C-alpha cells in the first residue's frame, strides 16, 4: 500500500515536473519529496521519473500510477 502523503508528493511532482515545486505545493522540503519518491520507486522496483537538470519526465509506469491515483 502507498502512503497517502507519498501519493500526494508523487501526483504533485507529476503535475509540476519538479520535486521543488511539488515540495512547495505540499508545504514540505524538497528532500522530503525526493526521498519519498525514491522509496516508492524501490517499493515498485522501477523508476517513476527520468531526472534531468531541467525537470522530471514521467515513465510509462508513472503515467499509469497517475491515472489510477486520479
Write down the mean pLDDT value for the chain: 96
User: Comparing C-alpha atoms, which of 21, 26, 15, 8 is closest to residue 63?
Assistant: 15
Query: Which cell numbers in the block locate residue 22?
Result: 511539488
Confidence of residue 70 (pLDDT cuts 50, 70, 90): confident
Q: Return the percentage of the chain with pLDDT > 90, whole number.
A: 91
What digits encode the pLDDT tens for the residues 50-64?
A: 999 999 999 999 999
Confidence of residue 1 (pLDDT cuts 50, 70, 90): confident
Q: Phi and psi for 46 in degrees, rounded to 5?
A: -165, 150
Q: Please list the residues that pair with 51 across neighbouring strands.
A: 56
pTM (two decimals): 0.93
Say if residues 34 and 19 touch (Cβ distance below 8 Å).
Answer: yes
Q: Give the separation between CA 29 and CA 68, rounded to whole angstroms.
A: 26
Amino acid at each position: 500500500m502507498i502512503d497517502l502523503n507519498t501519493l500526494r508528493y508523487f501526483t504533485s511532482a507529476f503535475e509540476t515536473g519538479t520535486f521543488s515545486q511539488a515540495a512547495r505545493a505540499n508545504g514540505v522540503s524538497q528532500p522530503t519529496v525526493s526521498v519519498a519518491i525514491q522509496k516508492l520507486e524501490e517499493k515498485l522496483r522501477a523508476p517513476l521519473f527520468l531526472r534531468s537538470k531541467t525537470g522530471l519526465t514521467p515513465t510509462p509506469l508513472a503515467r499509469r500510477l497517475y491515472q489510477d491515483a486520479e
